[in-house]
Structure 1
Amino acid sequence: MSEATPITQYEVGMSTADVTPPVGGPLGGFAARARHGSTSVYHPLRAVATAIGDGERDIMIISVEWLGCYQLADRVRRAITQLTAIPASDIVLNASHTHCGPAVHETGRNSHGWLDDEYIDEAIGKIARAALRAYRHRNRCTISYALGHSDIATNRRLPDPDNPPLVFDAMLPNPDGPVDHDVPVLVFRSVGDDTPRGLLFGYACHPTSRSGLAIGGDYVSFAMDHVDEAFPNAQVAFLQGCGGDAKPRPADPNEDGFGFRTVEQVKEIGDELGAAVVAAVADARPVTGPIAIQSVVEVLHTEPATAEAVAEAAAAPEPFKQTWAEHWQARLDDDAEVQTAVPFEIQTLTIGSSLAMITMAGEMTAEHALRLKTDHGDAYDGVITLGYTGAMVGYVSVRRQFEEKGYEVLHANMWHLRSGRYLPETEDQIHARIASLLG
């Protein structure tokens, strides 16, 4: 961008809501918590609404410290549209994917025996009202973009040397595996005032450094706290990237596994990420041009279940594999139609040639992000890649990982009772559709 390029002014507003669930409710994220409610709060949870307009187009970005929006995505969007008139297709819903937050996925009714529907209703109302506040109280702002770096994330798919090309079923540190260490940052400043009034930042890594029954947002909450303290006049929001196969690095580098951190140790890595955001702000460059957003639902397909796969799963010791086998054996016995289609939402949000934000409704592995940045980095000054958006469908891996199997490729789909792995061409299908949306 040349120095003569005029600075574009936008209408920007942000608003934050507390969406911490009541203690005692079901937690999402780890199967071992089934039938156990939360016992305390180690950090409140936030939802942040960011409204951005250029005079022609208004968009809304929601960041919420939940595991995902899942089947609630349509309800959240309808509530926001009712209050702001922003179309559902122009609303981005991104979840931080904390594993210490409320269970909101419908499957929680089976694993926990209940969902806190009263909390869910109240939280959706809070999110919608935050969106209305952000929309009503927008100010003339400039937008700038910066790119920081953090090495918190570690790949968790370790190759099994005794069974190539498979990875270990257990999630183990793989220091040589692909990760996305980028820390994208958007800075909103009031026109005529250099003080940051709002910041959106992202990272690609599972918030799974904590276990137990205490409510909190993992490293994400503490990273936002750190940025809040550095910029007390700004509201702050976090966006989760393509970290489906990444976990926070082990607290003890001498351990073979990831383990779990104390709250104090979680704060340390949160502060580390927050410091990377603060450092990047100084190098932020202007974002200019009109806003455009497109949304489409791409239909992905899984492999059909086979008698051989069902028999193998039925003989496995893991209960979730046995459950999958029972489910599909019944369908094979009944000669029922096998449903392999999985609706998958993609959004592309662009601001001129300055920025492209690409959102995908899955736990996308890191190589999706790395490919997208390579493919589209010449067309845009910055490319932000997000997973965990909209009606999340679970893990979506890249072609290279297909034969490695493991949790992200196969076992997660078994948890969802899907017929099998996504087809090998799924990666190319997704990326071709994104390329078409970006023109």
Structure 2
Amino acid sequence: MNRRMFAVLLVGLLAAAAPAMAAAPELRYTAGVAKRVITPTQPQWMAGYAGRNKPAQGKQHDLYVKALALDDGQGGRLVMVTVDLCGVSRAFTDAVYEAVAKKTSLNRESLCINVSHTHCGPVVQDALTSMYDMPQRERDKIPEYSQRVQALMVEAILEAIARRNPVTLAWGESSASFATNRRQPTPKGVINGTHPTGPVDRSVPVLLVRSQKTEKIEAILFGYACHNTTLSFYDWCGDYAGFAMHDLEKRYPGAQAMFWIGCGADANPLPRGTVELCKKYGAELAASVASVVDGPSTPITGKFSAKYAKVDAPLVPNRDATKWREEAKSANVALRQRAERFVQMLDAGQPLPESYPHYPVQVWKLGNSVTWVMLGGEVVVDYALKIREQHGPKKPGDPRIWVAGYCNDVMAYIPSARVLAEGGYEADSSMIYYGMPGKWAPAIEAKILAQVAALVAATRE
């Protein structure tokens, strides 16, 4: 081949390759943050404990809704919302998404709402409301406050989306020591106590968002799998998570710290009960996160992917009408109010629900680095351990697995098959407070894990 023929061939090859090269533009991440204060402005009933007998009296610090909007520059969009509430219902979060969808092109799978599960926040509509023995004047405050929080959530989401600027993303992981399994075995069965050798997840996953222009930290998103319940008094407070976020925002001025809770439904911060302990746990968690911020972290590269589905979660309802009529006379408020509802259904000829058809499962893939699994309800640690085992990295470079609970809908505790077989609060009596007609069926674990597997596979295609 002479030089002229070689030159012609080379030009042809370059021309053929040009479209393919042009089809893969460089990714350009952008991110925006926003937050709103949601601390009630009047005395209101506090969520999480049935034994409270009066509204909140004071404040340790404000409660917040915070939003982080991410964009990969190629159509991949993710919005994480964290909020200092004990729980929210499907109807509550659906209303927020629908309001956002009217003003943006955001898809349902791209929005996640995670509650911190503080028991020092206010009651909101359709979330454990039947467990509280509160006067009607206090119940009357709930709808208006709930609508205000929803509106503030929408504001924060829209502002975060509008404020996006070029950023770099990185991830890291540390640990904190205070989470302890609470399912204590006794000769009479499992009780809520202390089980130091029980399974627990003490990992602290961290997502870092840095300004591309200034390299300053704009957002720190971090998780921990432990009940956010050090305190049970009458002051508004984000509990240990609230103190951790406060410490981080003080340490990194201008950064928005956001806590998401993992699968810690069977873990407690122990010991607990004082503000001093709460601040101590918050400081430990903040220091763990700071070790990632100030130390080595792994850059995130690649496109985003998001998937969302609902599982028809099976229940084993009690169909004994006599039992429900007896419980409708109980002095226990939660027991009575649940039974009254089911007696009305039975008297009207309506069958009791045999499943919860809207259990949410959501999976995000952040580039080539992290696969984030987000589950509804108060999820026990077994789910996180099994999901990481099944879908975690098998070789260097595979995506890490993060697993969050308390996402999008907190309808009940979500026990594993093991916990269901052992019994105890997470498997049995907690269903009273959530107004469910019976326990979950053992098949719930397999159904949830199967849906997780399907969505993880779909995000990696």
TM-score norm. by structure 2 comes to: 0.85
Residue 82 in 1 paired to residue 102 in 2?
yes
How big is the shift at 1:150? 0.4
Q: 2:229 aligns with which of 208, 211, 214?
A: 208
1:119 partnered with 2:145: yes
Q: Aligned ranges for residues 89-104 of structure 1 at < 5 Å? A: 89-104=109-124
CA separation of 1:199/1:400 partners in 2, compared to 1, >3 Å: closer, same or farther?
same
Which letter maps to 2:351?
Answer: E
Q: For the residues of structure 2 that align with 1:86 and 1:335, how far apart are their CA atoms?
A: 41
CA distance in 2, matches of 1:88, 1:74: 9
Matched, 1:346 2:372: no
Q: Would the alpha carbon gap of residues 330 and 58 (structure 1) be closer, same or farther in structure 2, given more than 3 Å must change?
A: closer
Q: 1:131 aligns with which of 148, 151, 157?
A: 157
Q: Which residue of structure 1 aligns with residue 3 of structure 2?
A: none
* CA spacing shift, 1:333–1:15, aligned 2, 3 Å: closer
Q: CA deviation at 1:205?
A: 1.0
Task: Please state how far the C-alpha of 1:59 moved relative to its aligned partner.
Answer: 1.7
Tell me the alpha carbon deviations over residues 212-238 of structure 1, each in whole angstroms, 9 at most, x when there is no partner: 211111001100011112211311111
Indicate the residue corresponding to 2:253 in structure 1.
232
Q: 1:305-344 alignment to 2 at 5 Å?
A: 305-307=318-320, 310=323, 314=327, 320-321=334-335, 324=338, 336-342=350-356, 343-344=358-359
Corresponding residue of 2:287:
275
Cα separation, partners in 2 of 1:309 and 1:174, compared to 1, 3 Å: farther
Partner of 2:239: 218
SS of the aligned residue for 2:233 comes to coil
Q: Deviations over 1:263-288 (max 9, x none)?
A: 23211110111000001221210111
In 2, the alpha carbon distance for the partners of 1:69 and 1:316 equals: 27
Quote the Cα distance in structure 2 between the aligned partners of 1:46 and 1:194: 26
Q: Distance in 1 between matches of 2:433 and 2:326?
A: 12
Matched residue SS, 1:294? strand
The amino acid that maps onto 1:28 is A
- Cα distance in 2 for partners of 1:405, 1:316 equals 23
CA contact (8 A) 1:145 1:382 kept: no
Shift of 1:86: 1.4
- Within the candidate set 171, 177, 184, 1:158 is matched to 184
Q: Tell me the residue number matched to 2:202.
A: 181
Is the contact between residue 393 and residue 400 of structure 2 (CA under 8 Å) also seen in structure 1? no
Task: Read off the aligned partner of 2:257 and give its amino acid letter.
Answer: V
Contact 1:97–1:388 (8 Å) recurs in 2: yes
Structure 1, 224-233 or 187-196: larger mean CA deviation: 187-196
Match of residue 401 from structure 2: 383
- Match for 1:67 among 53, 61, 86? 86
Once the 2 structures are TM-superposed, how far is the Cα of residue 413 of structure 1 from its aligned partner?
Answer: 1.4
Q: Does 1:392 align with 2:418?
A: no
- Structure 1, 274-283 or 335-344: larger mean CA deviation: 335-344
Match of 1:257 in 2: none
The match for 1:256 is none
Q: Secondary structure at the match of 1:135?
A: helix
Cα deviation 1:296-315 (Å, max 9, x = unaligned): 11110111315499489859
- TM-score normalised per structure 1: 0.89
**Is the Cα contact below 8 Å between 2:223 and 2:262 reproduced in 1?**
yes
Name which one, 1 or 2, has greater alpha-carbon Rg. 2
- Aligned pairs, number: 419
* Residues 72 and 327 of structure 1, relative CA distance in 2, 3 Å threshold: closer
Bigger Cα displacement from structure 2, 282-291 vs 326-335: 326-335
**Structure 2, unpaired ranges of 5+:** 1-24
Equivalent position amino acid for 1:298 in 2: V
CA distance in 1, matches of 2:182, 2:196: 8
Q: Which residue of 1 aligns with 2:44?
A: 25
